């Protein structure tokens, strides 16, 4: 069983990592639209158009499921992508909400959603969470977290000051949804800032979601990985080697 993973850039590799560890698939085809990243500041039509082009790309491969690692695409385009794709398409938002339901049954919990501007203004996480009767929800688009993570400035004064800035009106949340593929990279910093918050990670959520919704008859010895980029593949390859700790 082969899977595709689509992201606007390199961030989706944080979703690939737990998928590789689980060995559910014989092969994963990753496509990062690095030429047009970031999607999180674009509008709905552009995001959908680019995502439809990615679905066309994955038609060249014999995959059974396409995982949309990008929260922004999951927020705006899932339904349209699902329309005429010859494979199943799953997004990280549904998966994240399912993970939250399992781990945090208390409907009165304080939930903090972090995402890109586009993800947050879509209101999709809120919609799903309200449908599940969660009520104490705050959404935030801390735009600087992505470039800070990309600069590798973990544990830095800059990141600490950025957290102080964005979180100045937030009192200790019970749960933080990492609603952007880059945010697992700053998970440790977020935990230092909010020591009591449980973090919901898209990659781990998608693994559980797949196990729940698909029949996996066996585990593979190893999951092969192929990586494609719309620009600068060497950069993506370099980051993949570091994050995934394997040759590509």
Residues recognised as catalytic: 70, 180
Q: List, in order, residues 6 or more apart from 171 with CB less than 8 Å away.
A: 110
**Among positions 59, 103, 165, 211, the unique one binding a second copy when judged by CB under 8 A:** 165
x-or-dash string of contact with a second copy, 110-149, rule CB under 8 A:
---------------------------------xx-xxx-
Run of H or E residues at 207: helix 202-213
Q: How far is the CB of 72 from a second copy (least distance, A)?
A: 13
Q: How far is the CB of 46 from a second copy (least distance, A)?
A: 5
Contact (CB, 8 A) for 146 and 82: no
Name the nearest CA neighbour of 102 among 198, 215, 197.
198
Q: How far apart are the first and last CA of the chain?
A: 20
**Among positions 21, 43, 130, 222, the unique one binding a second copy when judged by CB under 8 A:** 43
Cβ closest to a second copy, residue 161 vs residue 222? 161
Peptide bond into 38 cis (omega under 30): yes
Q: Could you tell me where the beta strands, DSSP code E, fall in the chain?
A: 2-7, 27-32, 65-68, 88-91, 111-115, 137-140, 175-179, 198-201, 224-229
Specify the stretch interacting with a second copy by CB under 8 A; choose among 16-24, 156-164, 180-188, 214-222.
Answer: 156-164
Neighbouring C-beta atoms of residue 105, cutoff 10 Å: 8
Residues from 178 through 237 that contact a second copy (CB under 8 A): 230-232
Cα distance between residue 173 and residue 194, in whole Å: 7
Q: How far is the CB of 85 from a second copy (least distance, A)?
A: 23
Q: How far is the CB of 165 from a second copy (least distance, A)?
A: 6
Q: What are phi and psi of 195, to 5 degrees?
A: -65, -20
Neighbouring C-beta atoms of residue 227, cutoff 10 Å: 20
Q: How far is the CB of 65 from a second copy (least distance, A)?
A: 28
**Among positions 123, 132, 156, 226, the unique one binding a second copy when judged by CB under 8 A:** 156
Specify the stretch interacting with a second copy by CB under 8 A; choose among 30-38, 107-115, 122-130, 195-203.
Answer: 30-38
Could you say whether residue 170 binds a second copy (CB under 8 A)? no
The site for a second copy (CB under 8 A) is made up of 34-37, 41-43, 45-46, 143-144, 146-148, 150-151, 153, 156-158, 161-162, 165, 230-232
């Amino acid at each position: 069983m082969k899977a595709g993973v689509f992201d606007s850039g390199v961030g989706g590799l944080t979703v690939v990592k737990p998928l590789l560890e689980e060995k559910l698939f014989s092969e994963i085809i990753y496509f990062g639209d690095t030429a047009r990243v970031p999607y999180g500041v674009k509008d709905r039509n552009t995001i959908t158009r680019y995502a439809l082009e990615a679905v066309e790309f994955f038609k060249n491969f014999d995959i059974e499921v396409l995982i949309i690692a990008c929260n922004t695409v999951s927020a705006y385009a899932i339904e349209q992508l699902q329309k005429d794709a010859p494979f199943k398409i799953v997004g990280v938002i549904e998966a994240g909400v399912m993970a939250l339901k399992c781990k945090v049954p208390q409907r009165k919990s304080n939930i903090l959603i972090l995402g890109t501007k586009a993800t947050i203004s879509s209101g999709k996480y809120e919609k799903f969470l309200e449908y599940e009767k969660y009520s104490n929800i705050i959404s935030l688009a801390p735009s600087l977290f992505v470039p800070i993570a990309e600069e590798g400035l973990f544990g830095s004064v800059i990141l600490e000051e950025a957290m102080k800035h964005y979180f100045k009106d937030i009192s200790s949340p019970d749960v933080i949804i990492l609603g952007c593929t880059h945010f697992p990279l700053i998970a440790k910093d977020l935990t230092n800032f909010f020591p009591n918050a449980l973090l919901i990670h898209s990659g781990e959520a998608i693994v559980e979601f797949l196990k729940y919704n698909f029949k996996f008859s066996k585990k593979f010895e190893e999951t092969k990985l192929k990586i494609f980029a719309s620009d600068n593949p060497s950069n993506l390859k370099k980051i993949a080697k570091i994050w995934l700790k394997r040759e590509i």
